[in-house]
Amino acid sequence: MAKSPERAIGPTSYSILGLLALRSWTAYELTKQMGRTLHHFWPRAESGIYREIKRLVDRRLAVADTEAVGRRSRTRYTITDEGRIALGSWLATPHEPGLLESEALVRILLGDQGTKDDLLVTMQRMAEEADELRTQMVTLVRHYAGGTGEFPERSHINHLVAKFLLDLSDLVSDFTRYGREVVTAWPDTAGRPPDEATMERLRELIQNRSTGAARASS
Amino acid sequence: MAKSPERAIGPTSYSILGLLALRSWTAYELTKQMGRTLHHFWPRAESGIYREIKRLVDRRLAVADTEAVGRRSRTRYTITDEGRIALGSWLATPHEPGLLESEALVRILLGDQGTKDDLLVTMQRMAEEADELRTQMVTLVRHYAGGTGEFPERSHINHLVAKFLLDLSDLVSDFTRYGREVVTAWPDTAGRPPDEATMERLRELIQNRSTGAARASS
DNA sequence: GATTACATGTAACATGTTACATGATTAC
DNA sequence: GTAATCATGTAACATGTTACATGTAATC
């Protein structure tokens, strides 16, 4: 009785399912929890969560039961065995190609169509976002290191993600520092024959970098 | 006679407009050009480009003219003055918050719901993607450094983007090397009371990192 | 008891992807 | 001359966001 070749569901649905794998949550709790960690690298509007979770129920990957809160109702969701299996199967499939997606980089690439100031502001904001990410991650890691993290049994996993995000925030800080320095020295953003400083910086980039995958680790 | 409060358009549309700011392109050329550079940090399906470009024409940010190729027609698009202005205005607005989006990280975060092997494969694939990105960027930078880049007058901008992507590919290579080492040492991915090795790694993460924004540059 | 913030959604619409369709060109 | 690949899209559907709507709890 499976309802025809079910369409595949995506990372957003599986993220929710992943949270449900830990415990049951009300819809509202789910939106908040998604906002805490996941939104750093998978930001989604809250309203979408409400819809996705109902799709999970349609597919019997989760079940809903209703509690009353005054005159209004609240829905609590719990993962099913089928749900756990589906989650496991998904994790065994390869991820979509592509390391990242970033609007800020798009703006930098289009930088010559805006003012110098626009570019500097973009990088300034990237730097601020990196600082905030670092702060949040340091706080989180402190909790885990002190044994007060929210799901202590997940310390090993969270440590991996935190490591990545901390390294990334450092990368962005360094990049924006470099970028703001470079851009400040430009007369403006406009296209122009490459100057010697730019050529030198281009050469620096490939210094010690081969075309191949091989790379010296520090 | 502007048609009521026009909805804002997004980064995808402005990316196309940004390409049009350089020269005029046929729709097909646009899809290919988007695939070359932009898709590394703003991947979009080709079919969407065909639709977006028509929306740009609707809004008079670009104009289309039709050329014949045998019995079939081809459309060439050119930016309008209005288009250049719109692009400039957009670049003066702040970007959406969020440094990046990454499905691979989602999978790592859900790693304890899959097998050790799934996690290792995810990181393996990340490493491969990083290698490929590095290779492509090195090649591109070599061209620019040698004066044979496609839009040499954009060397200064492209150098910034290339710098970011090269640093990122190094970060991912380092992270996945670290991650695979750590995960290999686990008995399995399952949740469990944090062991001493994990706690030590957590402490390492915040070593020399303050909660605040301040950060020593190397 | 009025105001504000928290909790819980729905409707409308914009954006993105998959699958298909078909003409033109190139390689054999 | 036929198969493969390049070029050029459209249709259908899935996903994502914005704007709204309204009940509940906290606070003053």
Q: What is the pLDDT of residues B3-55, one digit of tens each?
A: 345 778 999 999 999 999 999 999 999 999 999 999 999 999 999 999 999 99
CB-CB neighbours of B146 under 10 Å: 11
The residue with greater pLDDT, B199 or A208, is B199
State the pLDDT at residue A212: 59
**pLDDT digit of tens for each residue in chain A (218 aa)?**
333 457 789 999 999 999 999 999 999 999 999 999 999 999 999 999 999 999 999 999 999 999 988 888 999 999 999 999 999 999 999 999 999 999 999 999 999 999 999 999 999 999 999 999 999 999 999 999 999 999 999 999 999 999 999 999 999 999 999 999 999 999 999 999 999 999 999 999 999 787 656 565 55
Q: How much is the pLDDT for B1?
A: 37
Strands laid side by side in the A72-79 sheet: A25-26, A72-79, A62-69
Token digits of residue A48: 């979408």
Distance CA B140, CA A174 (A): 22
pLDDT in tens, B131-153: 999 999 999 999 999 999 999 99
In the chain, the amino acid numbered A116 is K
Q: How confident is the model at residue B94 (pLDDT cuts 50, 70, 90)?
A: very high
The tokens describing B62, both together, are 């670009």
Q: Is A199 on the interface with B (CB under 8 A)?
A: yes
Predicted local confidence at residue B108, as pLDDT: 98
Give the count of Cβ contacts less than 8 A between chain A and B: 319
Rounded Cα distance between A124 and A131, Å, is 11
Evaluate whether A120 touches A128 at the Cβ level (below 8 Å).
Answer: no
Q: What is the pLDDT of residue A216?
A: 57
Q: Do B105 and A41 touch (CB under 8 A)?
A: yes
Residue A138: its pLDDT value, please?
A: 96
Nearest one of A13, A46, A44 to A27, comparing CA atoms: A46
**Per-residue pLDDT averaged across B84-89, rounded?**
98
Q: What band does B79 get if pLDDT is binned at 50, 70 and 90?
A: very high
Which backbone phi and psi does B101 adopt, to 5 degrees? -135, 135
Chain B residues near residue A82 by CB distance under 8 angstroms: none
Footprint on protein of nucleic strand D, Cβ below 7 A: A 7-13, 43-48, 51-52, 55, 69-72; B 26-29, 31-32, 46-47, 50-51, 54, 69, 72-75
The residues near A208 (Cβ < 8 Å, ≥ 6 apart) are A216
> Among A184, A163, A8, which Cα is nearest to A96's?
A8
Is A201 part of the contact surface with chain B (CB cutoff 8 Å)? yes
Contacts of A97 in chain B (CB under 8 A): 43, 129
The tokens for B116 are 């050790």
What was the pLDDT predicted at B215? 64
Q: How many residues make up chain B in this entry? A: 218
> To probe the interface with A, which of B93, B96, B202 has the most A CB atoms within 10 Å?
B202
Report whether pLDDT(B212) > 70.
Answer: no
Nearest to A141 by CA among A127, A151, A155: A155
Q: What is the pLDDT of residue A209?
A: 83
Report strand pairing: B25-26 vs B72-79. antiparallel
Predicted pLDDT of residue A69 = 87
Three-state DSSP string of chain A: CCCCCCCCCCHHHHHHHHHHCCCCEEHHHHHHHHHHCHHHCCCCCHHHHHHHHHHHHHCCCEEEEEEEECCEEEEEEEECHHHHHHHHHHHCCCCCCCCCECHHHHHHHCHHHCCHHHHHHHHHHHHHHHHHHHHHHHHHHHHHHCCCCCCHHHHHHHHHHHHHHHHHHHHHHHHHHHHHHHHHHCCCCCCCCCCHHHHHHHHHHHCCCCCCCCCCCC
B154/A contact by beta carbon, under 8 A: yes
CB-proximal positions of chain D, under 7 Å? 7-19, 23-25
**Is residue B181 predicted with pLDDT exceeding 50?**
yes
Residue–nucleotide distance: A27 CA to D20 C1' (Å): 19
Contact criterion met (CB < 8 Å) for A161 and B99: no
Which of B42, B95, A107 is closest to B33 using CA atoms?
B42
Query: Given CB atoms, is A67 within the 8 Å cutoff of chain B?
Result: no
Please indicate whether residue B69 or residue B216 has the higher confidence score (pLDDT).
B69
